[in-house]
Structure 1
Amino acid sequence: MGSQLNPYIAFDGDARQAMEFYHDVLGGKLELGTFADFGSAESPDADKIMHATLTTADGFTVMAWDVPERVPFNPGTNVALYLGGDDEGLREYFEKLSAGGTVAMPLKKQIWGDEAGTLVDRFGITWMVNITAKQS
């Protein structure tokens, strides 16, 4: 298989809800494992997500975890998830991901010819969507 690079999102206790939401939007297979599932049943973080993976039919892989109490959680705006391609289905993802969130840049035709938009979902994660213009 070789190497791969995937986004791994840190949450402050709501990784399960976020990953279930992304699963509803993107489809695919969602695997969730708590700290207890990985042998930390006595931990105060036992019910939190230690590792989650969402793998979709479109080839997307998103991973996440709940930061344990002993690790500082400092949310920021230095990471965004990018969905790009020529599939019109990306428009539906944009609409669904924006539910309960904030659209920072509406999905519309941009100066470079593609349709693009940016949103912050209800979990504070920034998503950038770019639909490649069809070549005529």
Structure 2
Amino acid sequence: MEAYLFFNGNCEEALEFYKRCLGGEITTLMRYEGTPMDNGQLPPGWKQKVMHSTFESEGARFMASDGMPGQPAPSYGGFAMSVFVPGDAANARKAFEALSEGGKVTMPFEPPFWGGHFGMLTDRFGIPWMVSSEH
């Protein structure tokens, strides 16, 4: 099972942000241009929006796209993206701090009672995240 995130026209910006925060790469990126949906009905500037993408890094893999033109902006609740950063807590803290830039920390990145390190945040795109490490 993999998460699929929808964005309101800023998917590529979000993917570049996640690439910077988590390392990894955008392994698939398809645009609306040249697809059957590119039939004169797309709004101006929408041809270069992301129709489908896949992002992969150590500890994270998900798919994402810009929602269909004219659809309501996505809202996220009742779930969180969870990323486990192997190794020491310093790498996980670095990812946590990067993801929280421009967002809101809801639980600081600290050692929880069950061990390791853990923190929660909502990033600047409105996506909730849980970041953890084993040490």
Compute the TM-score of the two structures, normalised by the length of structure 2.
Answer: 0.83
Please tell me whether residue 87 in structure 1 is matched to residue 87 in structure 2.
Answer: yes
In the TM superposition, residue 108 of structure 1 has moved relative to its aligned partner by: 0.5
Letter in 2 for 1:38: T
Residue identity opposite 1:91 in structure 2: R
Counterpart of 1:48 in structure 2: which amino acid? K
Q: Which moved more, 1:115-124 or 1:63-72?
A: 63-72
User: Is residue 77 of structure 1 aligned with residue 73 of structure 2?
Assistant: no
SS in 2 for 1:95: helix
2:6 to 10, 15, 37: 10
Cα distance in structure 2, aligned partners of 1:74 and 1:25: 22
Q: Which amino acid aligns with 2:25?
A: K
Distance 1:24 1:11 in 2: 18
1:46 paired residue number: 47
1:63-105 alpha-carbon deviations (Å, 9 max, x no partner)? 1011112434340212211012542222211111111111111
Instruction: Determine the C-alpha separation between the residues in 2 that align with 1:37 and 1:64.
Output: 19
Any conservation in 1 of the 2:119–2:132 contact (CA below 8 Å)?
yes
Aligned 8 A contact 2:59 2:83 in 1? no
Which aligned pairs between 1:83-122 and structure 2 lie closer than 5 A?
A: 83-84=83-84, 86-88=86-88, 89-122=91-124
Which structure has the higher relative contact order (CA within 8 Å, separation 6+)?
2
Do the aligned partners of 2:7 and 2:74 also contact (CA within 8 Å) in 1?
no
User: How far apart are the structure 1 equivalents of 2:36 and 2:16?
Assistant: 23
Indicate if the aligned counterparts of 1:101 and 1:119 stay in contact, CA closer than 8 A: yes
Which amino acid is the alignment partner of residue 108 of structure 1?
E
Cα distance in 2 for residues equivalent to 1:86 and 1:36: 38
Paired position in structure 2 for 1:66: 66
Question: Is the 1:33–1:50 Cα contact (8 Å) retained in structure 2?
Answer: yes
Size of the aligned set, in residue pairs, is 128
Q: Which runs of 5+ in 2 are unaligned?
A: none
1:28 aligns with 24
Query: Does the CA contact (< 8 Å) of 1:40 and 1:46 recur in 2?
Result: no
Alignment CA distance shift 1:73-1:121 (3 Å): same
Question: Cα RMSD (Å) of the superposition?
Answer: 1.8
Please give the TM-score of this superposition, normalised by the length of structure 1.
0.82
